[in-house]
Amino acid sequence: MSRTHLRQISCSGGGVTHIDQKRRSLLGGIGGVAGLAAVSPSILLSACTNEGSADSGSGVAPAHGADNGEVDVDFRLRARRDTVPLLPGTPSEVWRYDATLVDGPANTLSSINNSYPGPLIRLSRGQRVRATLENRLPEDTTVHWHGLHVPPDVDGQPRLPIKPGEDMAVTFDVRDRAGLYWYHPHPHGPDGGRVGFQSYAGLAGPLVIEDDIERGLALPGGEQELILILQDRSFAGDNALRYMDGMGAMMARMRGFFGDRVLVNGRPPRTRDVATRPYRLRILNGSNARIYKLAWSDGRPVTVIGTDGGLLAKPQRLAYVTLAPAQRVDVWLDLSGAQVGERLRLISDAYQTGMMGGMGAMMGRSALPAGARFDLLGLRVTDRVRDGRPLPPDLDSTPVLPAVTSDTPIRRFELGMRMMRGFFINGRQFEGATVADDEVVRLGNTEIWEFVNDTMMPHPMHVHGLQFAVIERRRMTDIRGWSGLASGLLDAGLLDTVLVMPGERVRIVLTFTDFEGLYLYHCHNMEHEDSGMMRYYRVRA
């Protein structure tokens, strides 16, 4: 079918997810521990064909969200197969988003780097948005707006799958602060999740929200605003993407997937020409499991101006930034004092992993094990210009953190592991839209959630539908390993994902506003999430 030897495996049986044993074994146990048969490495992005429906389009889009009246922005977002050049030589088969603007400001959509990442979607706070999602994939998908405060029905949850060939229209208001958010699939069927696979295949894109406060700061824009999506990938000799195949699949399911090389915006890292002026780097960790330790090659501090949920009150300088899967960081880099000819690199620096990381390396599964040091971006100063824009000492101090009192209820979530069975939250795994008594919260209430990590792996814990603040991080046990990341943990500002290190207890404060209904919380190590380290919670009026 294509130069990349993608092989279609036909599926037996029906059901929601169209996943069968045969394919499961090819993809290496995504849906269960069964089936770790060795396969030819070139068959990687395999999926089931859903005869007849995949490219037909139903034309009828079920609608979710606010009414279907006037909107400020209207676009169509299509998930489909494509073949794009990723490495020199043979192009690779990917799954990707592309989009068309139906109505709205001309700069709403822009493509990134001629590779698989979905278009950059640029929205403004206060806009009403309609997105028509078209599934042209051979299996169910959803589109989740990661980090956005939107109603449950438009949140792209697994309980509302878009079937192959179908469309779904969602309408929502942009209520969030200026910041870098993102969108990605969130399907999960009876055989497990497909978030890891579908994102890995290429389905993910950045979403920027702008607001008046940010505009007032006149931060670097245009060529001086670099959006960087960090992901790691493995390739077969013919450049076909490889995911969880062969012998290492079982280990990858426990640790999460680690690729052999890093891609930035879907291509190998490269060097850019820059001028003697300030830059704004907006970085998304879109990897399945890898944690980055972001630092400058000359040891200068990293100046952070924003996190997941937008700008900080004031800039912060750190020696390095620990960026967990799904997290974003907004970095100010001032090259005003640089000389033409000077070079600087953004790197992911080395750190120690625990036994889980070490085992993977021992088994030779990744040429770039967790904790390896590598380059992400080269900068070469080629132009002398006078810009003179200073770093604003005050950014955005509007977010009022919910007040915590001695009466604020504490809800505890124990992150645990059982041999051969994977990871659990309070002893439970994903059971679809089933919510336990202790997973119901009250609309309008403020709570403290504490995540207690009793495993040997870090877990980036994500809560849907809101932004929260970290109020405490405490070491509870002496679990060893995983060192060299602690002082880069960004617990400032508003976050939607927080990294809980082995042996730690992290407390966050959150308020459930505006929307009733079901939302997800889960580990954003996508392999953990897909194998069940995810639950629904319910907001009840």
Which of 135, 142 has the CB closer to Cu ion? 142
CB of 144 to Cu ion, least distance (A): 5
* Site membership for Cu ion, residue 230 (CB under 5 A): no
Q: Please give the distance of CA 393 from its chain centroid, rounded to a whole number.
A: 29
Residue nearest to ligand C2O (CB): 146
CB of 341 to ligand C2O, least distance (A): 41
523 interacts with, out of Cu ion, ligand C2O, none, CB within 5 to 8 A per kind: Cu ion
Identify any residues that bridge with 293 across adjacent strands, giving them in sequence order.
322
CB of 186 to ligand C2O, least distance (A): 6
Which of 36, 461 has the CB closer to Cu ion? 461
Provide CB contacts within 8 A for 264, sequence distance 6+: 228, 229, 230, 231, 270, 376, 377
3-class SS string, 240-289: CEECCCHHHHHHHHHHCCCCCEEEECCECCCEEEEECCEEEEEEEECCCC
Which of 466, 509 has the CB closer to Cu ion? 466
Going across the sheet that includes 205-210, the strands are: 109-110, 120-124, 205-210, 179-184, 144-146
Which of 164, 422 has the CB closer to Cu ion? 422
* Site membership for Cu ion, residue 125 (CB under 5 A): no
CB of 196 to ligand C2O, least distance (A): 11
Burial track 451-465 (b if 16+ CB lie within 10 A, e otherwise): bbbbbbbbbbbbbbb
Which of 146, 290 has the CB closer to ligand C2O? 146
Which of 191, 530 has the CB closer to ligand C2O? 530
170: closest CA among 128, 141, 138, 137? 128
Contact criterion met (CB below 8 Å) for 41 and 245: yes
8: closest CA among 57, 47, 36, 58? 47
Which of 44, 520 has the CB closer to ligand C2O? 520
505 interacts with, out of Cu ion, ligand C2O, none, CB within 5 to 8 A per kind: none
186 interacts with, out of Cu ion, ligand C2O, none, CB within 5 to 8 A per kind: ligand C2O
Which runs of E-coded beta strand occur in 104-210?
109-110, 120-124, 128-136, 144-146, 167-173, 179-184, 188-189, 192-193, 205-210
CB of 529 to Cu ion, least distance (A): 7
From the list 441, 523, 526, 534, which residue makes contact with Cu ion (rule: CB under 5 A)?
523
Count, residues near Cu ion per rule CB under 5 A: 6
Which of 353, 497 has the CB closer to ligand C2O? 497
From the list 232, 528, 536, 539, which residue makes contact with Cu ion (rule: CB under 5 A)?
528
Which of 195, 318 has the CB closer to ligand C2O? 195
Q: Which region, judged by CB under 5 A, interacts with Cu ion, from 365-373, 398-406, 451-459, 484-492?
A: 451-459
* Site membership for Cu ion, residue 525 (CB under 5 A): yes
Q: How far is CA 193 from CA 94, 147, 210, in A?
A: 19, 20, 32
* Site membership for Cu ion, residue 459 (CB under 5 A): yes
CB of 161 to ligand C2O, least distance (A): 14
Q: Which residues bind ligand C2O (CB under 6 A)?
A: 144, 146, 184, 186, 326, 462, 464, 520, 522, 524
* Site membership for Cu ion, residue 494 (CB under 5 A): no
522 interacts with, out of Cu ion, ligand C2O, none, CB within 5 to 8 A per kind: ligand C2O
> Based on the number of CB atoms within 10 Å of its own CB, is 121 exposed (0-12), middle (13-18) or buried (19 or more)?
buried
| x/- map, 130-149, Cu ion, by CB under 5 A | ----------------x---
CB of 197 to ligand C2O, least distance (A): 14
Pairs from 431-435 (Cβ < 8 Å, separation ≥ 24): 431/535, 432/158, 432/159, 432/188, 432/536, 433/159, 433/518, 433/536, 434/536, 435/518, 435/535, 435/536, 435/537, 435/538
CB of 60 to ligand C2O, least distance (A): 27
Which of 242, 528 has the CB closer to Cu ion? 528
Provide CB contacts within 8 A for 390, sequence distance 6+: none
End-to-end CA gap in the chain: 52
CA distance 8 to 17: 16
User: Is the Cα torsion angle 438, 439, 445, 446 positive or negative in sign?
Assistant: positive
CB of 198 to ligand C2O, least distance (A): 12
Which of 141, 224 has the CB closer to Cu ion? 141
CB of 195 to ligand C2O, least distance (A): 7
- Binding site residues, Cu ion, CB under 5 A: 146, 459, 464, 523, 525, 528
